[in-house]
Structure 1
């Protein structure tokens, strides 16, 4: 593999923290995010972090909810940041064994824009890599990760191997990730998976960028709508 394949300084990564805590309250999820960001920034990736609950994101499944009765909606501006990133990492806590309500809202708003197309007639999120980070002190890391990663790939993101990482403490009201003595920041399993996830996201995002995205053949909504369906015979042309 050429040396340039290992360059990542032309990549941008966006971490969306879906904690329920508004800034400046301490977010344990943000503690784990910091580990992942440091790996990417060490390779020159430009990273940014947004705490979704700090924004006035409207509820709904349209790109701009002000067009559907809402007085304000921060999503359109956040969507611009999503589209500027080669890598999207959705991050959040476990509540009742599932993703947070903020995580669900963010995924719904990502879905709201999934029908938009890129310049090649593909769905807009094509050519980007996605992953997730989950924290908590109750079971559910893998369940939450499955939901997030399925959602991302369904919307058009490419998911690399081992694209999730997480940490859970002792079941019940025990210490959280950043609490003194929790063992979270020192946990080898979590640190290994967080590092692997960051590297695999960089590898895949770089490959996609060098290749110009996912090849635009057989997956163009514009071509399908125009009747160009090579895999399905058109009775009108018989």
Structure 2
């Protein structure tokens, strides 16, 4: 089983990403359960605006799309900015919109029988809003979003320290992240063994 973590930080490599640091808790638990995990930092890629799988030119989304189709588990990790998902997250979701019209050989939407979850970091309140926006989009695309398939860290409204600079709240975020990984893996196994069929015509 394979998992893809898309880190939607605004910070290009090699800058330290708080969002990636929390996401590694989830990926570590998935790895412990035998899942092969790959992480990409979307801001490092040339992702053209649009809602097609391939926008041509130097667009690097086709390689991300291929990895999405190779993974049974997807984790979208986003910082919170102004109480909303990052602009990079929005770009990723817009590019995933093309998957709505893609089907497999049995006529199922390509996201069917795949699970997804969300990781959020930020200094202001709004984590649940960010989780709901991302999860709602992933459900629209066809992913199954299990119960409690998210974790987040923030210290409430207003400015404050970053995740990597502050120990407060980490224990809860980590235990929630491990539970998230367990739920994603459990539902992914269930869908592998009892896949959804094509939608009725």
Q: One fold, TM greater than 0.5?
A: yes
**Aligned partner of 2:74 among 74, 88, 97:** 88
What TM-score results when the alignment is normalised by the length of structure 2?
A: 0.96
Which aligned runs of 4 or more in structure 1 are off by greater than 6 angstroms? none
CA contact (8 A) 1:37 1:47 kept: yes
1:183 aligns with 2:160: no
How many residue pairs get aligned? The number is: 201
Name the SS for the 2:101 alignment partner.
Answer: coil
Q: Map 1:27-176 to 2 at 5 A.
A: 27-66=17-56, 71-176=57-162
Partner deviation per Cα, 1:174-232 (whole Å, 9 max, x = no partner): 110011xx125x63321221111100000000111112x2123xx15xxx3xxxxxxxx
RMSD of equivalent CA atoms: 1.2
Q: Are the counterparts in 2 of residues 169 and 176 from structure 1 also a CA contact under 8 Å?
A: no
Give the distance between the partners of 1:131 and 1:29, measured in 2 at CA: 14
For the Cα contact (< 8 Å) 2:4–2:74, is it kept in 1?
yes
Question: How far, CA to CA, are the matches of 2:170 and 2:85 in structure 1?
Answer: 22
State which structure, 1 or 2, has the greater radius of gyration over its C-alpha atoms.
Answer: 1
**Is the CA contact 1:169–1:177 (under 8 Å) kept in the aligned structure 2?**
no
Q: Specify every segment of 5 or more residues in structure 2 that has no aligned partner in the other structure, as ranges.
A: none
Q: How far apart are residue 171 of structure 1 and its match?
A: 2.9
> After superposition, where does 1:20-31 map in structure 2 within 5 Å?
20-31=10-21
> How many Å apart are 1:122 and its aligned residue?
1.3
Q: C-alpha distance in 2, partners of 1:78/1:15? A: 11
